[in-house]
Chain A
Amino acid sequence: MSSLSGVDAPNNGLPPGKVAAFNTADLLRRALAGTATRAILAVALALLITAILILIAGKNPLLAYAALLKGAFGSLDRIIFGLNKSTPYILAGLGVALCFRANVINIGAEGQIAVGGIGATAVALSGLALPGFLLMPMALVAGAACGALWAGVAAFISLKRGVHEVLCTLLLNFVGVLLVSEVLHGRLGEQGAGFPQSPLLPRTTWLPKLVAGTDLHIGIVLAVGAALACHILFWRTTFGFRLRIMGASRNAARYVGISNMRQTMRVMLLAGGLAGLAGGVEVLGVHYRLIEGFSAGFGFNAVGVALLASLNPMAVLPAGLFIGFLEAGALAMQREVGVPSSLVFVIQGLTMVFVLCALGLRGERSKV
């Protein structure tokens, strides 16, 4: 049904007679080549249109983009800021990519991240008399578990009651985000703070720094590891093979004997777990506390990252970095040149529309 999940292995055969080496690396290289072309074109087009908008607003787009670049990569601190920003997008984007691959349109990362943040905070503040090296991972696991639970609820309603998963995940996003506000005004809230937030978490539960003396936490390592793991899971395991069949055709999956219910549930739990982990990383690595609205926009970015990567797990890594640095740079651009950072949404929205159009049009060629 969807033009999304049909972005599988290679489309175009080699010239007859020339039989290429048959291996995954080759396959992946060619899949990624298409991905990269598509992504670069979409981004370039989006930047071009955005430049016109900047012109209309009476600013110099070149200066604005220069400020954006400088803001993203201008100093070590900026780069670290960008890396930290990318981390949750990569983690959650991986889950979204796998779901879309299976033609399960999960757009609930936002709520899953929010609830994951609650889980991590609750464990970190639980006062359990445990050494930090245990409590911190436990908090992360709790985050992942809560995110998975949230995704599981959506999947359950969708599968059992036949409600489209888009609506389930979408509606639960609002509930999940409100749940953060609710706990911050209740059990997890800090008394007397001017802003809805939790007390500062114990230092032992903070994510360790990757480079001492900087803000760079180990989240990015987790993200890279997760991308690698998802890549292997998708291309080298029977689980991934089932996802690919399911995404290509529900009828074929049924014919082969794949249980739609079980497989959907699994991939949703996995995606929810990754998103929940992203929430935990954000709380334990960046804010050191739960803050109202900390997940705002993350869910959408996760979808954007997955699409920009054409749903290739390994490509989620550069796509996530791109979006992360784009946002980091945009904040600087707003400061330096006075171009509102909301422009980033425009760039992202346009990029996504272009990628989606390209995927849709490609779907036609394959059918002829």
Chain B
Amino acid sequence: MLEMRGIRKAYGAVQANSGIDLDVAAGQIVGLLGENGSGKSTLMKLLFGVVSADAGSILFKGQPLTGHGPAQAMAAGLGMIHQHFTLVEAMSVTENVMLGAPDAGPWLSPRAMAQRIVEESAKYGLDIDPDAIVDDLPHGRRQRVEIVKAILRGADLLILDEPTSNLSPSEVDGLLAIMARLRDQGRAIVFISHKLDEVLAICSDIVVLRDGAVAGTCKAEGATREGLAKMMVGRDMPPPVARAPSAAGRNVLHVGQMALVEDGIERLAPITFSLRAGEILAIAGIDGNGQTELAECLAGLRLPTAGGIDLDGHDVTLAGVGERTMRGLAYIPVDRAMTSLVTGMSVSDNLALRDFDRPPLSRRGWLERGSFAVRASEMSQRFAIKMAGPHVAARTLSGGNQQKIVLAREIGRHPLVLIAHQPVWGLDPGATRFVIDQILALRAAGGAVVYISSSLEEVMTLGDRIAVMQGGRLSMPVDREMADLTQIGLLMAGDVGAIHSDAA
């Protein structure tokens, strides 16, 4: 059904795709494996016409596709489901589907469309209410809206870009079942992922990309995790991170019955936990289950509506960001581009973001530019920040180096407690490793860390104790040695019976 030959695409000096071939047949699910930055997303964007290729040819259902945009790609029968959904949240499911339907006339017929949604939904087991407002739907449901959108637009080939990254284990199973039904109806699917088990479970053929080129292709049958992993990374897996056993320190953070209610909605059910010096509490969970609220309550960006926070013997429940920072709290939020960095400001300004209003960076409201410079040169050396100079805007740096600025600022001042929310999100393996090593170094130096991530792998690697967040509740933290992956999976999926939020 699809033949891609010799696809090339460069972004500036970076060769994102250097001569890639890809074949997909009808009724086939092809897995596209690769690490971040291996060129998977670029290849699919080229196919879908979101960006245009530098060289290569695409043959789809026997017709060449060249110089096409998303509109032509969709008309030809391609459907793409992005990692970030392209749904209008304020509109209903029906309206969202009608938005892309090409064959209808100038007048909308919402009732007929709703009927078709119900039919297709039943056919593939999607279970969608056409009148629901997208804003009210959970992540997994929105994904199904995207799928029905693509199907009703007549997509014969569906591209699913990392579709399982924000799903709970049971939602993943549901999605795989839907994919199987789509395949059985004769549609083709390109399944982009870096999760080996899922790819092995559903695909017939697997294509592995590395550094913008095809590192290997194989049948799923007979392929092994180890073999695929080696193909992806291009070498043996890096040695697991070395970590000393945690020396039980004193209690530095205690959260007692902390709850948050906003606009009448309970964002955080009463949460209780303690954290000792030199300990990492890793919190797993699917995005949007209260992690941001928890992190922001701890960091002082939101005030809890009940309960208390005690930081090193001081009640900081109502303290502002400044006071908590002074008492040794550091926070790495999830959003680098807009929150933890001011990309338009210089590197040295960004390094000063947290304590510019205190000596030595300022005195009586006057900035001490000399101290800014000293800090910048110190930190750029210690954290190996690659940049043209401390005065360049942070946006000119690579993602990894940007995160190093944040690390330098938050870890560089030897905090008592660090809240890290998805700190390796979107980073390449090297940068990821650097961040992990820094966090472990902080732990070794006696720092306490709350590490929040949706990646089970990270959580199991880093956590001394592990807890799960679901629906604004925190399960009772368990020691890593005692942690059971099945139970964590169940907790993430919202198996309420397994939750003991108040027990700690």
Question: Measured between alpha carbons, how far is A235 from B12 in the docked complex, in Å?
Answer: 34
Give, as a whole number of angstroms, the nearest-CB distance from A241 to chain B. 5
B389 / chain A contacts, CB cutoff of 8 Å: 13-14, 19-20, 22
A residues within 8 A CB of B366?
236-238
Among A8, A26, A254, the residue within 8 A (CB) of B345 is A8
Expressed in whole angstroms, the Cα–Cα distance for A235 and B391 within the complex equals 14
The CA of A20 and the CA of B340, in the complex, are separated in Å by 26
Q: Are B322 and A257 in contact (CB under 8 A)?
A: yes
Determine if A14 and B301 form an interchain contact, defined as CB atoms under 8 angstroms apart.
no
Task: Given the known inter-chain contacts A19-B388, A237-B367, A249-B339, please indicate yes or no for A256 contacting B321, CB distance below 8 A.
Answer: yes
Looking at B325, B339, B362, which has the most chain A CB atoms within 10 Å of its CB?
A: B339
Q: How far is the CA of A244 from the CA of B354 in the complex (A)?
A: 14
Q: Are A257's CB and B321's CB within 8 A?
A: yes
The reply to whether A8 and B393 contact each other, CB–CB distance below 8 Å, is yes
- Which of B175-183, B330-338, B481-489 is the contact stretch? B330-338
A24 at the binding interface (Cβ < 8 Å):
yes
User: A195: CB under 8 A from chain B?
Assistant: no
Picked from B320, B333, B340, B342, the residue with its CB within 8 Å of the CB of A257 is B320
Chain A neighbourhood of B367, CB < 8 A: 235-238, 240-241
**Chain A hits for B115, CB < 8 A:** none
The CA of A55 and the CA of B171, in the complex, are separated in Å by 70
Pick from A8, A16, A23, A244: contact of B388, CB under 8 Å: A16
Q: Which residue of A lies closest to B363 (CB)?
A: A238
State in angstroms the CA–CA spacing of A116 and B303 once bound together: 40
Q: Is the CB of B356 within 8 A of A241?
A: yes
Total count of chain B residues near the partner, CB < 8 A: 42
A22 touching B356, Cβ below 8 Å? no
With A9-B346, A22-B373, A241-B349 already in contact, the answer to whether A255 and B395 are too (CB < 8 A) is no
* Chain A residues with CB under 8 A of B299: 255
- Per the bound structure, the CA–CA distance linking A11 and B393 in Å amounts to 6
Question: In this complex, which of B341, B346, B353, B389 has the most chain A Cβ atoms within 10 angstroms of its Cβ?
Answer: B389
Given contacts A13-B392, A19-B388, A252-B339, contact A244 B345 (CB under 8 A): yes
**Distance in Å: Cβ of B363 to nearest Cβ of chain A:** 10
Q: Interface size on A (CB < 8 Å)?
A: 37
Q: Which of the listed residues B300, B341, B343, B344 has the most CB atoms from chain A within 10 Å of its own CB?
A: B344
Residues of B within 8 A of A19 (CB): 388-389
Whether the pair B338, A249 counts as a contact (CB closer than 8 A) is yes
Point out the residue from A26, A27, A366 that lies within 8 Å of B395, measured CB to CB: A366
Distance A188 CA – B242 CA, assembled complex (angstroms)? 81
Interface readout for B453-489 with A: 1 if CB under 8 Å, 0 if not? Answer: 0000000000000000000000000000000000000
Closest to A23 in B: B369
> A251 in the interface, Cβ–Cβ < 8 Å?
yes
Does B387 reach chain A (CB closer than 8 Å)? yes
> How many Å from the CB of A245 to the closest CB on chain B?
6
Chain A 3-16 interface mask (CB, 8 Å, partner B; 1/0): 00010111111111
Residue of A with least CB distance to B356: A241
Within the complex, the shortest CB–CB distance from B94 to chain A, in Å, comes to 30
Residue from the list B301, B365, B373 in contact with A239, Cβ < 8 A: B365
- Whether B418 sits at the interface, judged by CB under 8 Å, is no
Q: How far is the CA of A245 from the CA of B349 in the complex (A)?
A: 10
Q: Residue of A at shortest CB range from B348?
A: A22
Residues of A within 8 A of B392 (CB): 10, 13-14
Residue in B357, B365, B387 whose CB lies within 8 Å of A13: B387
Nearest chain A CB to B368 CB, angstrom units: 10
| A237→B362 CA distance, assembly (Å) | 8
- Which A-B residue pairs are the 9 nearest by beta carbons? A257-B321, A13-B388, A13-B392, A251-B339, A248-B342, A19-B389, A8-B344, A248-B344, A238-B357
Q: 11 other contacts beyond A13-B389, A13-B393, A255-B339, with CB at 8 A cut-off? A: A8-B393, A13-B388, A13-B392, A19-B388, A27-B391, A237-B365, A238-B356, A238-B366, A240-B367, A245-B342, A248-B344
Subset of 16 A-B contacts with CB under 8 Å: A9-B345, A11-B396, A13-B392, A13-B393, A13-B396, A16-B388, A19-B388, A22-B376, A236-B367, A236-B369, A238-B357, A240-B367, A245-B342, A249-B342, A252-B342, A255-B299
